[in-house]
Copies of this chain bind each other. A is one copy, B any other.
Amino acid sequence: MKKLSILIILQVICFVTVFSQGRLLTIDEATIGQYRQFYPKTINQLQWRFGSETYTFIKKGNLFEGGVKNTNEKEILTSKELSTAFEAVNVKEVNGFGSFSWISPTLIKIDRPDGIALLDVKTKKVESYIKIDDEIENADFSIESKMLAYTKANNLFVADINSKITPVSSEKNTGIVFGKTVHRNEFGIEKGTYWSPSGKKLAFYRMDESMVTEYPLVDIEPRIAELNKLRYPMAGMQSHEVTVGVFSVENGNIIYLKTGEPKVQYLTNISWSNDEKFIFIAVLNPQQNHMKFNQYDALTGEFVKTLFEEKNDRYVEPLKPAVFLKKSNDKFIWQSQRDGYNHFYLYDFNGKMLKQITKGEWVVTEFLGFNEKETELFYVSTEKSPLERNLYSVNIETGKTVLLTTEKGYHAAMLSDSKNYILDQYSSIEFPNVINLNDSKGKKVRELVNAENPMKDVSMPEMQMFIIKAADGKTDLYGRVIKPLNFDKTKKYPAILYVYGGPHAQLVDNTWLGGAPLWDYYMAQKGYVVITIDNRGSANRGFEFESVIHRNVGEAEALDQMEVIKYLKNLGYVDEKRIGVHGWSYGGFMTINLMTTFPDVFKAGVAGGPVIDWKYYEVMYGERYMDTPQENPDGYQKSSLINKAKNLKGELLIIHGYIDDTVVLQNSLSFLQQCIKDGILIDYFLYPEHQHNVRGMDRIHLMKKITKYFDDNL
């Protein structure tokens, strides 16, 4: 019981003071209700109007506008008017605004399956419609040049405002792809085309993956099952080769940046200089421990210089492109966690670091923009608490920061084009959803929404957040525990540990419901204690915290999770013989890792889409944390669950999407095969038409399945 003395109870929130007052959740509600009937009231498609201090949103299918000064929100385009506008250009059945954005004070760009439409909200007419004779992918529109870049199959095209199409590539070899995201979306890469500021040039990725082994995925939907081949480079195996081309809209020329050898390297975070003369790329070596921030001539493709380098014994992970100041043509902001935490740095074009703008044992999570004069920078950080996100401004010159959000919670914000106003949206364990219109000093102008408790008719179990020490004895870890409904401290309850545990993710935060899925509350309604903690190795706590897993995934994370098991046992109301564990993806790995490393602790577990042996995971993510199997054979051996299968004692259900293209099926099947060899009985289930997650209505079946497994075995 000594351990308890070091616990600091942060918050105790009782959503429902009289527990038995409301009704119970159904499994359907517990699975999808969070995004439907229990979704807090909000404002749909809220965004700033281009170059103005008014905001727009969709209400009942119509486009409304609100101003900073006046509280009257007025309708500016009805769904009827939208339909009429589209009918005039022969498009029938326009089903609402869909995805749209402001591209001028009067024009909105509406994304269509076959192109994009520019609609004038004043004339209520479709001014232009760039229409392609097919479904297009990766549409990327330049506001400046009104050019649309897009891909079809593996090739890249651009279309002008008159829908005149120019192919940028016409590659027949399907192993070579143009204009799409590369490196499996690691390093912050989410797209494959980058318009220059004027829209006259287009930088694009070319990825040759013809040398990458194909992983066979089988689609059972056709009359006879068909094969889909996935170019999936596994750790230590041949990866793809990426280059960056530059297409000139004016003359159709294409040049390639001379990014040189080795061919297998990472070309990340592409950005254009304001004058379009240069392209900057964070070039990361294959070992992922040495990044060069390189400048290339956009006209000739020549390498100009390396502005600066970052090295780390573990890894370097550039995630955000440089942001160039507009007032000066030779300065940019760079984000780096080189001092242990992600912060802003100001650089000039000579690669000279002018200053570190933010500093502290917390991380910048988002760059929002500059003020008009570019003397201040708006951003979101974890400075107040890793559980919160708050908005700040920092004076680039003085480094003085100002907190712009006062309410405790998890804030997101949008800056108006005028830089004078901010739309601040937040939730917390107390507030389901609040949106305020604030000025740029953080002063509230008006509350736009303050949602009532959507769970008010439901008997919600009590949730508590807590802090415990990690297995290192010093690091704070943040947790969340949900007590069984109608909690009786004299009883002993079964408990379920929900785990993820890997990088780039945080499960516990000060958002509505504490970041927990409603299913956790559903299980607590059924009488389970449900607990979760963000162990070392997870996100938003700095480099040391996250990178502790380097070359040795599974160890520190599991030791930390065992600290939460100690905490659970010390609560006094948990039946120590009835502890279960559940997680998906990295959490699936952790579930099996925990059950096979501490076989006497866990009575039952459900692992979804688990990595079983990191040699089956892909190069980009896998080698960052584990190096290659050749470089780190011990680490791969130690973390391989195949070697631990024989230890399993509890009841384990593995669930996998049959066409999982993230964690391929070879993972779970290899574990099954080892269990078969070792005479270990386990359970298995497949979702035949699902990939790495079970989405849509089928998710209800999934959660029923998981629930039943714990009901039957825990």
Contact = CB atoms under 8 A, between A and B. Distances in A.
Contacts of A673: 220, 688-689
A249 interface: no
A595 interface: no
A224 B220 contact: no
A359 to B, nearest CB: 45
A598 interface: no
A468 to B, nearest CB: 36
A712 B709 CA distance: 12
Interface in A658-680: 658, 664-666, 669-670, 672-673, 675-677, 679
Contacts of A688: 669-670, 672-673, 676
A684 interface: yes
Contact of A216 (B226, B686, B705): B226
A545 to B, nearest CB: 33
Nearest to A212: B224
Contacts of A676: 687-688, 698, 701
B224 A215 contact: yes
Interface in A190-235: 213-216, 218, 220, 223-227, 232, 234
A289 B676 CA distance: 45
A235 to B, nearest CB: 10
A220 B698 contact: no
Interface string A675-714: 1110101011111110000000010110011001000100
Contacts of A215: 224-225
A181 to B, nearest CB: 22
A161 interface: no
A220 B700 contact: no
A237 interface: yes
A705 B685 contact: no
A223 B238 CA distance: 12
Interface in A628-666: 658, 664-666
Contacts of A218: 216, 218, 665
A681 B705 contact: yes
A683 B681 contact: no
Contact of A234 (B220, B223, B237): B223
Contacts of A664: 225
A614 to B, nearest CB: 13
A705 B686 CA distance: 17
Contacts of A237: 223-224
A669 B223 contact: no
Contacts of A224: 213, 215, 232, 234, 237, 666
A701 B683 contact: no
Which of A224, A237, A673, A681 lies at the interface centre, i.e. has the most chain B CB atoms within 10 A of its CB? A224
Contacts of A689: 673
A685 B683 contact: yes
Contacts of A698: 676-677
Nearest to A664: B225
Nearest to A678: B701
Nearest to A226: B216
A701 B681 contact: yes
Contacts of A708: 681
Nearest to A232: B224
A220 B681 contact: no
A679 B666 contact: no
A679 B658 contact: no
B704 A686 contact: no
A223 B236 CA distance: 11
Given A220-B669, A234-B224, A679-B701, A685 B687 contact: no
A9 B666 CA distance: 52
A675 B712 CA distance: 20
Contact of A669 (B234, B681, B686): B686
16 contacts: A215-B225, A216-B226, A218-B218, A220-B665, A220-B666, A220-B673, A224-B232, A224-B666, A669-B686, A670-B688, A672-B685, A672-B688, A676-B698, A679-B700, A681-B708, A684-B684
Nearest 9 Cβ contacts at the A-B interface: A669-B688, A216-B227, A673-B688, A676-B701, A225-B666, A213-B224, A220-B669, A220-B666, A216-B218
Given A216-B227, A669-B688, 8 more contacts: A214-B227, A216-B225, A672-B686, A672-B688, A675-B701, A676-B687, A677-B698, A712-B712
